[in-house]
Chain A
Amino acid sequence: MNTLRTMLWPAVRHILLIAGALVLLAPFIWMISTASKPPEEVFSSELHLIPHHFALWDNLKIAFAKANLWRFLLNGVIVTVSIFVLQVLISLPAAYALAKLRFLGRDTLFALVLFGILIPPQATAIPVFLLLHKLGLLDSYAALVLPFTISVFGIFLMRQFFKSVPDDLVDAARMDGISEFGIVWRVMLPAAIPAVTAFGIFSVVAHWNDYFWPLIVLNSEQLRTPPLAVAHFRNNEAGTNYGPLMAAAMVIIAPLLIAFLLAQRRFIEGITLTGIK
């Protein structure tokens, strides 16, 4: 009786968790399945997960032939990396000032940063679009990167992390003759690597997958970011051919997946560190 109960609860727990995981994974699995099917199987009325005829390579070949996927991936890398680098360059000194320097109005300034987190990007989209138009920057990499260089979320996250760095360390650096900017890069950044990694993943995932903003500011085909590329793929290039479309989608999420798997431990470290302290 007792052993039954101790066996039952973990079993129930696992069934529930597996069910939840399946719900989340279903679209993903379906994508892989569709990408592996030849056209006649995609449109067959019966529902089956494993393709009878494995056509993943053919679909990939069609996808790469019909659109310049490499170029879109490269665009994605250029945009996300530039955004992330600029975000770090701006948010680390800002976070350091908010966490460790004493100046008049610091708390008000931090409250404004928090307030900034509450504003959805769609709310500022039109003014930013008009600004870029006035500057003549629409339809360029700059249009994709510049609006995201200042990340209030990044400032907030790094500020919380810097708060946990002991003041003595900052003072020791000052005694050793390191300048304030030097402290940010030589002392705070190395101490904050887990938090920077966590922020990096948030930032890269968000901007790699961003559909809304590139759709608004881009016209030229060669500047398209991956999600935009996939969408246009469906409308124009592959028409109703879902196999290559899903194959292209797979290619486009692959870099994120690989990056996440590589940085998984660091990522979780960063989240827990910033969460607890």
Chain B
Amino acid sequence: MATIELSAIRKSFDGTEILRGVDLRIENGEFISLVGPSGCGKSTLLRVIAGLEPQSAGEVSIDGIAADGIRPSARNLAMVFQSYALYPHLSAFDNIAVPLRMRRLSAIERLPLVGALLPSRRRKERGIRDDVAKVAEQLEIAHLLGRKPAQLSGGQRQRIAVGRAIVRQPVAFLFDEPLSNLDAKLRVHMRAELAQLHRRLNATFVYVTHDQAEAMTMSSRIAVMIDGELVQVGTPTDIYDNPRDIRVAEFVGSPKINVLPGRIREGGRIEALGVALRLTSSAAPGACRIGVRPERIELGSGPFAGHVVHAENMGSEAFLHLGVNGSDVRLVARIDDPRRLPPIATPVSFGFAMDAVRAFNAEGKRIEVEIEHAERVRERAIV
């Protein structure tokens, strides 16, 4: 169990900067997800933590001890790879046993043929066998131990890879998109299993994914990474409700947050699509963007007019794609009851509550807004 501290990590490959100064403190026993679009540098960051990739600048420390220059295996971290990276020529048992053998056996004991004759090797092998069996029981893979990776399904390989990681009781686990090679159903199932595993082991998990749903459902904290920078770090609820950057708002949540073109008028009043909202901001007047989550769009009444362009019925809920009259802006609204889905091309009016608005300035940074009281709004609306 460990805390991992990253300070000002930079990494560049051939002149391109992949990581631009990442600071992050990962608490003991925490499940933190690094999310971001592909190519944002999250996997590189994980490899820097693991020691597989030396950083160009900055420091990694594990449990307060500087880890720079320490070999990956000596950092006592375990990693689960996207491709599982099981040794193809070894059985599942041997795959799980490798880290233990590398640790507990001396170089002579590891020699083929000669090593097997040593009595000390036999004694240690017994210990290894017990430990592998314990892990196999935990992960319910005891019946698979004799098989080679090629004879296992994706989900089974995944478990073997997790087994290989937990068997040596590392101080922290690093996951590099471990679920992205599984089919959708299994992925949802493994999500729950990994979260349970985390609760049971109570170890530090660092989980890299490009799937925001995985990050939202499993982690205690999410670190959103875009273009080599950590844009926001916070709890899933915080990231979803209070994105500090429009890129975070757009990345987290499915379907994507609706972004309407807006403006801050002289005097601080905010308008969206040319309609004045009951919101003011102290930010400088000018163009801004108004974000509203699909579930906060209210259909049937409101100051905006549009028409149904497309409808997606998911069974338990439905998403309505709306074209806004007089502009090429498209919105998505969630409907809880798919049976009330209006047909295509139906004109609809819609609006949203003022507390649903997340406003961003032209650079994409979050702007604080204030909701005006209803009476005052009415007065001003008349003006």
Please tell me if B52 contacts chain A, counting CB pairs below 8 Å.
Answer: yes
Please tell me if B155 contacts chain A, counting CB pairs below 8 Å.
Answer: no
Distance in angstroms between the alpha carbons of A166 and B99 in the assembled complex: 19
Contact present for B88 and A174 (CB under 8 Å): no
Distance in angstroms between the alpha carbons of A175 and B166 in the assembled complex: 13
Contact present for A172 and B81 (CB under 8 Å): yes
Contact present for A171 and B81 (CB under 8 Å): yes
Q: For chain A, residues 177 to 196, give those with C-beta under 8 angstroms from any C-beta of chain B.
A: 177-178, 187, 190-191
Contact present for A171 and B52 (CB under 8 Å): yes
Given contacts A169-B87, A190-B87, A191-B89, contact A175 B98 (CB under 8 A): no
Contact present for A177 and B99 (CB under 8 Å): yes
Nearest chain B residue, comparing its CB with the CB of A189: B89
Contact present for A174 and B52 (CB under 8 Å): yes
Distance in angstroms between the alpha carbons of A24 and B180 in the assembled complex: 53
Distance in angstroms between the alpha carbons of A177 and B73 in the assembled complex: 5
Query: Chain B residues near A174 (CB, 8 Å)?
Result: 52, 71-73
Distance in angstroms between the alpha carbons of A178 and B72 in the assembled complex: 10
Given contacts A176-B73, A176-B164, A177-B103, contact A171 B85 (CB under 8 A): yes
Query: Chain B residues near A46 (CB, 8 Å)?
Result: none
Chain A proximity of B102: nearest CB distance (Å): 4
Please tell me if B222 contacts chain A, counting CB pairs below 8 Å.
Answer: no
Tell me what chain A mostly uses at the interface: helix, strand, loop, or mixed: helix
Which residue of B73, B88, B89 contacts A175 across the interface (Cβ within 8 Å)? Answer: B73
Chain A proximity of B348: nearest CB distance (Å): 50
Residue of B47, B77, B99 contacting most chain A CB atoms (<10 Å): B99
Distance in angstroms between the alpha carbons of A60 and B68 in the assembled complex: 70
Residue of B81, B84, B85, B98 contacting most chain A CB atoms (<10 Å): B85
Contact present for A178 and B82 (CB under 8 Å): no
Contact present for B79 and A171 (CB under 8 Å): yes
Please tell me if A40 contacts chain B, counting CB pairs below 8 Å.
Answer: no
Which residue of A175, A177, A187 contacts B87 across the interface (Cβ within 8 Å)? Answer: A187
* Chain B 47-70 near chain A by CB (<8 Å), digits 1 or 0: 100101000000000000000000
Q: For chain A, residues 155 to 181, give those with C-beta under 8 angstroms from any C-beta of chain B.
A: 166, 168-169, 171-178
Distance in angstroms between the alpha carbons of A141 and B73 in the assembled complex: 43
Contact present for B89 and A190 (CB under 8 Å): yes
Contact present for B102 and A177 (CB under 8 Å): yes
Distance in angstroms between the alpha carbons of A178 and B73 in the assembled complex: 8
Please tell me if B281 contacts chain A, counting CB pairs below 8 Å.
Answer: no
Please tell me if B3 contacts chain A, counting CB pairs below 8 Å.
Answer: no
Please tell me if B78 contacts chain A, counting CB pairs below 8 Å.
Answer: yes
Distance in angstroms between the alpha carbons of A155 and B302 in the assembled complex: 72
Query: Chain A residues near B78 (CB, 8 Å)?
Result: 175
Chain B proximity of A238: nearest CB distance (Å): 45
The 3 nearest A-B residue pairs measured at CB: A177-B73, A172-B85, A190-B89
Besides the contacts A171-B81, A177-B99, what 11 more A-B pairs have beta carbons closer than 8 Å?
A: A166-B85, A168-B81, A171-B52, A171-B79, A172-B86, A175-B50, A175-B73, A176-B102, A178-B98, A190-B88, A191-B88
Task: Give 30 pairs: A residue, B residue, CB < 8 Å, sorted on A.
Answer: A166-B83, A166-B85, A168-B82, A169-B85, A171-B47, A171-B50, A171-B72, A171-B79, A171-B81, A172-B79, A174-B52, A174-B72, A175-B52, A175-B73, A175-B77, A175-B99, A176-B73, A176-B98, A176-B102, A176-B164, A177-B73, A177-B74, A177-B99, A177-B103, A178-B73, A178-B102, A190-B87, A190-B88, A190-B90, A191-B88
